[in-house]
Structures are given as structure tokens and as C-alpha cells.
A and B are shown apart, each in its own frame.
Chain A
Amino acid sequence: MELDEVVCFSRFSRVAICGGTHGNELSGVYLVREMQKAERKAKERGNDMEVITVLSNPRAVQRGLRYIDTDLNRCFTHAMLSGSNTNDAPYEIIRSRELNALLGPKGSRDAVDLVCDLHNTTANMGLCLISYSDSDWLCLHVFRHLQRQMPDVPTRFIHFNATNKESYSLDSVGKHGFALEAGPQPHGVMRSNIYTTMKMGVEHVLDWVCLFNSGFVFEGGSVDVYTVVRNIDYPRDRDTHNITAAVHPQLQDRDFCLLYPEDPLFLTLSGETLRYKGKEPLYPFFINECAYYEKGIAVSLARKRRVAIPAIRVQTEQEQQAKKDECTSEEEEE
């Protein structure tokens, strides 16, 4: 990639904002509801861009649960999307296929251009943009825009390296996608400051897309990316599998504060401190996220690095036509 190269992408014609993928993560639930009310009052964004708002897991939302049968945000692998619906299929599998039909199909030309999936966490993570890629320049530019527009909110980019494991979450259905995670907020609770952060975040995302579509050239630069390295589970009783220690008070709420070897990790019920035994200092996050107890994660650890991003802009109509002609002539040659 040349430093002065401007990378071009097709315009965004459809953007999906999804809330309630986990039914008890309320910022997204209420924000999507409010956006749907506003849509009924014919609020327009111009630029012929369609904003689709989706309540991803309505049954879980209605019952105030994370999920009914299984975690919806793990149901979007190609394998899970392509099976046929049986009578006893889990509710979330049926729903993931409905969402794939609505916003996808995943991997096809008909998929929406961008999926922005709204989540909350009990961890003290501020605002995070979570993505499978550290080289999707569109997502990284959106992230930089959010950081600049919301300087009072700690905003970070988390990269889940999915090269070995296939993408499984809702945001992987769109051509581009990411999760917007805001915390700390208990599940089942709506904190006004967290709602406001999420609302502003979504507005800035949509503003960026409009700006992009209008032909604005976004200059290159660099951003900090946190790439997940590993997870650490709670110490557990060998027989019952029950947790035998709590996240240490010196680690609790210290998301993104560098964790050094020998730093406290857990405090057992009998008062013993268990320490981080890794060799490399890493950045902890999702510290004490409620929903991860059952997934065996007390804390996730990441490496931070600077990623250079190129300048980007939207493809002009001539460039799009030229590209189409190129594809057509290639087909003719074959």
C-alpha cells in the first residue's frame, strides 16, 4: 500500500442498525425502538442511503433475557445459516436464518453494506468498536471518526483475529460490520449516560457514512488496535465447576490498563491472591463480564499496536462503470 494511495470503495446504499441481539442489553433495544418511532415520522438522511433498524432477538427482549435457547450472536457461521429449519431447532437458529435473509445472505452481493450491532457489557470498557478484521479500512475510518467526534468518551478498537475460526456473529452478515459495545451497564438496566453514548455513537456512524457517500476524501493516518490474544477463566472447583475466586479488586474495572506479569488477577474466598503468570504484559478487557461466566472467560487479553490506514473515498460513478465494464469484458474473454 502506497502512502499517498487513496483506496476507493463502493458507496453505502444500505446500513443496518441492530439492537437487542442480546435481549437484556438495553441501550440497543431502546435506541432501535426510538429510531423506528422516528422513521414513522419520515425522518430522512438524504444521499439515497437506506437505514434499516432491526430488533434482532424480539423474544429474548420481551423476556429480558440474553437469549431463549442459545446465544444468537454465535449463530451466524455459514454452516449454521445453511441448514434447514427442523421442528425442534433452537429459536435463535431460526432467527439467525431470518436475519440472514433480511440483511444478507452473508457473503453475497445482496448483503447490506454495513451492519452495526449494538451491545452492552458489565465491564468498564467505555465505548468499543469490535471487528474481525484489522484491515477493513472502512471500519477503521469509522472508528477514528468516532474517537475524534467523542473525545470525552474512551473509545477503542478491538480486533478478534478470526483467521482460524470462522466468523459467527451478526455483524459478519453484512459486507462490512462491527459491534458497538458500551459499558459498564448491568444487564437489564438502562443507564442514561450509556444510552446517550450509544445514541451519539450511532449518529456519528451514520454521519460518517453520509459524508463518505458524498465523496469526501478521508485522509490516511494511524489508529491503535487491540488484538485479542487469549482469555483467562476463573479458578473453578474441580468437581462442581463452581467459581472459587473473584476478579481481584485491583483488576476490577481496570479495563485497558496494562496487566504486567505477577499483577493480581483473582482473590480467592479464603483471601489468597492469584497472579497473572504470563510472560508478556497485555491489555485486559471484558473484565468480569456477566455473560462470559458460562463461556469460561473472566478476562480477555489483547496486544496493542499502531495500524496505518490509507486515505479512502467513495468510488465515483465513472469508476464504478469502468469496473463493471472490466468485469463484463473479462467474462467475454472467458
Chain B
Amino acid sequence: VAARLDEARRVAIFGGTHGNEMSGVMLVNLWVQNNTEVQRKGVEVQPFITNPKAVEKCTRYVDTDLNRAFTPENLSTLGGGDLPYEVRRAQEINRMFGPKGSPEAYDVIFDLHNTTSNMGCTLLLESSKDHFNLQMMNYIQKSIFPASCLVLLNEHPLLKYSTSRSVAKHPVGLEVGPQPQGVLRSNIFESMRDILKHALDFIELFNAGMEFPPCTVEVFRLSERIDYPRDDNGNIIAMVHPNLQDCDWEPLNPGDPMFQTFDGKTIHYQGSGTVYPTFINEAAYYEKQQAFATTRRESLVASAIRKA
């Protein structure tokens, strides 16, 4: 028996949440000027630049990371002009597309990101119980086959963070790499564009009444954050090992090379079992004390769904 879900009538596409992640900036600017490509029957699609000041300066953020700013404290705090730019911006976005957690919130928000890591196309899932999202991700994967698109699930109680897309009922992150910050690579841009096309097709089909049968979706569940080895002053003393560099999603076994010191010594992975590393050597995570994250493979079953 299919779960009956509300139709997804209001959809937003966020670009420039990090102002130097260029695919999303370019796509959203394009669609703000001319939205023909993202129009679908029975859906309102709003492309939106979330951090215009950061986009203008071509920097990740101005005062603080917008994609960590949607905490309950930030969204409810008073302070007006004294607040960091991104906190004010988060409140504004919450008013426009939320409020977060309320029935008035947007149904779906796609948040477009790039990474310097060799992650290919990755869909970011925030809840293992979001059957709508699981079905959408399954649909996308089948549609782009033989090209691949993996699903990263961040449900970790400590590592989970308050994203701009979390304002919506069904938040979907899109991460495509590798691409340097501030650079626009044609192939990366077109990959992201293609994924969004299929995502919007799914929503149109769902709203038109199509039933999606139960499916199994393989996900990579976020497990641990691994920092660079540092000295007592906090300076990095080793680099991601050449054997690990660019090997996102490939198994990392205990004993495998992980870091290489500046004088060429190898530091090995000391975990208890095989993990699948991701976000390997992401530029923005040096300041967040993360060289890479480990994940574990898991199969999630999505129930059949149908519009209510």
C-alpha cells in the first residue's frame, strides 16, 4: 500500500549559498533571467541566490557560513543590524521559504554546491525516513544511468548541521566536484543541470498522480570527521596521502595510507573496519578541521508513494 503524501507544489532552487561555488551561481542566475528550462506543469519553481554578498565578492561567506546558520537560536534571535550578515540572511530566507518546521514551508528546496573533492555527483540526504526524497533520488539515479550519482546521508546527531535547505519539508543537497572554488567548469555545470532536470521531472510526475513502487536505495551514511595531523600550534603537519587523494567513495581499509608528512612519511588509517571516505581534501574544510569524512554503506528501503 502506497504512502499518501502531499503534492510538492512549491519548489525552490538555491544557488550561491557559498558564493564561490560557481555552478549553482551560474545556473540560478540563468534561471532567474529565463526560467523556461525549470518550468514544470503543476509546480512553482523559484530559483534564488541565497548569499548575494558572498556571490558578489566570489567568497564562501562574508561573516559566517550561511549553510551552518539555520539553527533554531539563529532563526529566533533578535539584534537586527548587529547580527552577522548570514544570520540576518538566514532569518530572511526562513521567512520567505519557511518557517522551518511549519505547514507553510516550501515543499522541496534544492541547494546547489560544488566541492574541490573528487566526489562526482552526490545527492545529500538529511533524513533516512524521507521516503519522498528517497524515491526522488532513486528516480534520478535510474534516469542518469550509466552516469552515477551517489547518496550521502547525514543523520549523525553530532555532525549534522543546519543547512539553508533545511527550511523546506524535503531538503535536497546537490554536491558536484571536483571544481576549484571560483572556477566554472563546463562539464561540472552540465552535470548539475542534468540532475536538476530529472529531479524536476520526478516532481512533475508525482504531482500528476504517478505511483512510485517500493525501491531500495544504497546510501553512504556519514560516520566520522577526520582532521589533518597538526602540531601543538594547530598547524597542519601532513597532507592527504597521494593514495587517498581523489579516491572519494573507494574503500579505505585499516592500515591503508591516509596522510603523508612533509618529509615523506606515511600515516595509516587506524579504524576498526572498512569505511568509504568522502569530502577528501575539500578546501573549505581546512578551517573546520576536516581532511575527509568517513561513511558506511547502508541500504534503505523506500515505501511506495503516491500523491494524496
Contact = CB atoms under 8 A, between A and B. Distances in A.
B181 A290 contact: yes
Interface string B181-199: 1111111010000000000
A189 interface: yes
B235 interface: yes
Interface residues of B, number: 32
B181 A64 contact: no
A290 B30 contact: no
10 contacts: A189-B281, A191-B245, A191-B281, A192-B239, A192-B240, A243-B26, A246-B189, A288-B184, A293-B58, A293-B182
Given A246-B26, A267-B186, A288-B183, 20 more contacts: A187-B181, A188-B283, A188-B286, A189-B282, A190-B239, A190-B281, A191-B281, A192-B241, A192-B242, A192-B245, A193-B242, A193-B245, A195-B239, A242-B29, A246-B186, A247-B185, A249-B187, A252-B186, A290-B182, A294-B58
Given A191-B245, A192-B260, A193-B245, A186 B185 contact: no
B82 interface: no
Interface in A187-205: 187-193, 195
A283 B26 CA distance: 28
Nearest to A269: B30
A248 B184 CA distance: 11
Contacts of A291: 182
Interface of A: 30, 33-34, 64, 122, 184, 186-193, 195, 242-243, 246-249, 252, 267, 269, 288, 290-291, 293-294
**Which 4 pairs, one residue from A and one from B, show the smallest C-beta to C-beta distance?**
A186-B180, A188-B283, A246-B186, A290-B182
A26 to B, nearest CB: 9
Nearest to A27: B239
A290 B183 contact: yes
Contacts of B182: 187, 290-291, 293
B186 A188 contact: no
B283 A187 contact: yes
A195 B178 CA distance: 19
B144 interface: no
B116 interface: yes
Contacts of A293: 58, 182-183
B27 to A, nearest CB: 8
Contacts of A34: 262-263
